[in-house]
């Protein structure tokens, strides 16, 4: 199964494409669609749709997973983020593709075992799992999108990662996933 993961945004959209087979995954593509902030918001929404459409044309994913906006301090920013998510969702829906939304905490837990992990921790773990060295070769938005795809794979295979209360517990349970 090929999974397209999307981390939507009104200024940039992270994306990641995984080939998933059971509990295994292979990185097919990743990156960030950067949107010109001088462009009107409605035109950026069209760019998001076209970018997602191009990824679908290139990789022919079976399913799409997208991070959902949960909350924010600025209502106007949340409205723009919700519109960006909707624009990103329209392309796979146009192809009758299943689109599944995931909360940020669930995505972080799938990648790190900790639903409160920061973006750099997510990037480090995603890079480790997918063999990206050095981890900084992944943009933060791309690693978030790959984490969304991984979260979807975990849900599809019934593999729910164990939750850890901190890094010490994670390292103890996963010595092979941490280099030192």
Catalytic residue among 63, 106, 141, 144: 141
The CA distance from 149 to 98, in Å, is 13
Catalytic residue among 63, 67, 106, 144: 67
Is residue 53 flagged as an active site residue?
no
9, 68 in Cβ contact below 8 A?
Answer: no
Whole-angstrom Cα Rg for the chain: 16
Starting from the edge strand earliest in sequence, which strands make up the sheet with 2-7, in order?
24-34, 12-21, 2-7, 63-67, 98-102
Query: How would you label 99-125 residue by residue, b for 16+ Cβ within 10 Å and e otherwise?
Result: beebebebbbbbbbbbbebeeebbbbb
Parallel/antiparallel/unpaired status of strands 2-7 and 63-67: parallel
The CA distance from 58 to 49, in Å, is 14
Catalytic residue among 7, 63, 106, 144: 7
Is residue 7 flagged as an active site residue?
yes
Q: Which residues are the active-site residues? A: 7, 67, 141
């Amino acid at each position: 199964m090929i999974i397209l993961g999307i981390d939507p945004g009104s200024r940039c959209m992270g994306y990641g494409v995984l080939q998933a087979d059971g509990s295994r995954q292979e990185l097919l593509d990743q990156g960030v669609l950067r949107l010109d902030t001088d462009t009107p918001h409605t035109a950026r929404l069209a760019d998001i749709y076209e970018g997602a459409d191009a990824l679908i044309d290139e990789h022919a994913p079976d399913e799409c997973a997208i991070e959902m906006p949960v909350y924010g301090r600025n209502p106007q920013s949340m409205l723009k983020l919700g519109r960006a998510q909707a624009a990103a969702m329209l392309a796979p829906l146009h192809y009758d593709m299943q689109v599944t939304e995931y909360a940020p905490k669930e995505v972080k837990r799938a990648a790190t075992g900790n639903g409160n992990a920061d973006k750099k921790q997510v990037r480090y773990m995603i890079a480790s799992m997918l063999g990206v060295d050095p981890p900084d070769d992944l943009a933060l938005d791309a690693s978030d999108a790959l984490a969304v795809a991984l979260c979807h794979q975990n849900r599809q295979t019934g593999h729910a990662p164990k939750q850890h209360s901190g890094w010490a517990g994670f390292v103890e349970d996963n010595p092979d996933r941490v280099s030192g």
